[in-house]
Structure 1
Amino acid sequence: MKEKLVDLFEYTYHFNKEMIRYISEHISKVDEKTISLINHTLNAQQIWNSRILGEKAFEVWQINPFESLNEINHQNFLKSIDIIQEQDLDSRVEYQNSKGTKFENSIFDMLFHAVNHSTYHRGQINSLLKQNGMDPILTDYIFYKR
């Protein structure tokens, strides 16, 4: 199970990096919503890692300096992998969402959500890229595995 979760975070890291690169190369055509979504995608993974580790979290919709996005993506990846390797994935963690509501989930469920959430928002970003006259990036998992 841990190996597959590592694989999913490698996939997430790879296509987040590709999305950042593509946005950077076409920055003059990219709208604010695209910038907001790529930031939100990275912020969310940082937030889930922080909830698991009990660390300070980003704001959900904070806009980071564009030049820091690759480093945020890289740090998110390293922390997620460390959590997978060092934590009991069946352990449950109590946390608060951005509205202050308390929840409790397994570490596995929290990490899987982070992967799924990233995939969802990369799809939204691709729709925005296409609307702005750019070719979307093929980010499906199967393309990563080919």
Structure 2
Amino acid sequence: MNHPEQMYHYHVWASQIIMQRIQELPATVLHQEVNSSFPTLAHALSHMYAVDQMWYLVLTGTSMPEALQICMTRNGETFATIEKYFERNAELSNQYLNWFSQQTDLEQTFLLDNPFAGVRQTSFAEMVLHLVNHGTYHRGNISTMLRQLGHASVMNDYFRFWYENPNTAE
């Protein structure tokens, strides 16, 4: 397994770990308002899902402006239950894993037209690593939000992933 794909597996695992933590709490916590990066945990999870979906579309050939238009409207839409987040993330993860299985060169570059930053040559590997980094950033937001709501978070660092998934060392 190549490094970007391994990092994607970490991203999926870490998101599942944080959602499992939310699932352990009263169902109302998902939509409880908090004065933080997002108004609720559901909004944070929806943002992560929308961005993951947007990058999937870009990786599979949709222009970034078009992918943004498709996915960012979903940014503020929340699901009623944490189980729905698990379901949607699993569906998207399967799409990514299928995409990875078809790739022969993640260092392949293409022209990315980012409406916020401009045009640049970008590799598939860079985009995957950005996706993982974006998820890590927002899982940190969710951990802070959980603490603000009076609940402990859960460790979801990359090194924990190593020990829970020993075949990642290969």
TM-score bin, normalised by smaller chain: 0.7 to 0.9
Q: Deviations over 1:41-86 (max 9, x none)?
A: 1221111111111355421623242443112211222222233332
Residue aligned with 1:94, SS: strand
Q: Which runs of 5+ in 1 are unaligned?
A: none
TM-score (norm 1): 0.82
Q: State which drifts further: 116-125 or 46-55.
A: 46-55
Corresponding residue for 1:54? 61
Corresponding residue for 1:84? 100
Match of 1:138 among 155, 159, 164: 155
Corresponding residue for 2:44? 37
Q: State which drifts further: 72-81 or 22-31.
A: 22-31
Q: How many Å apart are 1:137 and its aligned residue?
A: 1.0
Instruction: Name the CA distance, whole Å, in 2 between partners of 1:58 and 1:100.
Output: 18
Answer whether contact 1:92 1:107 (CA < 8 A) is retained. Answer: yes
Residue aligned with 1:105, SS: strand
Instruction: Name the CA distance, whole Å, in 1 between partners of 2:115 and 2:89.
Output: 21
Q: How many Å apart are 1:15 and its aligned residue?
A: 1.9
- How many residue pairs get aligned? The number is 145
The 1:73/1:98 distance shift into structure 2, 3 A limit, reads: farther
TM-score (norm 2): 0.72
Q: State which drifts further: 116-125 or 24-33.
A: 24-33
Answer whether contact 1:9 1:77 (CA < 8 A) is retained. Answer: no
The 1:50/1:21 distance shift into structure 2, 3 A limit, reads: same
- Structure with greater Cα Rg: 2
Corresponding residue for 1:22? 21
Answer whether contact 1:89 1:108 (CA < 8 A) is retained. Answer: yes
Identity of aligned residues (%): 21
Q: Which runs of 5+ in 2 are unaligned?
A: 34-38, 164-170
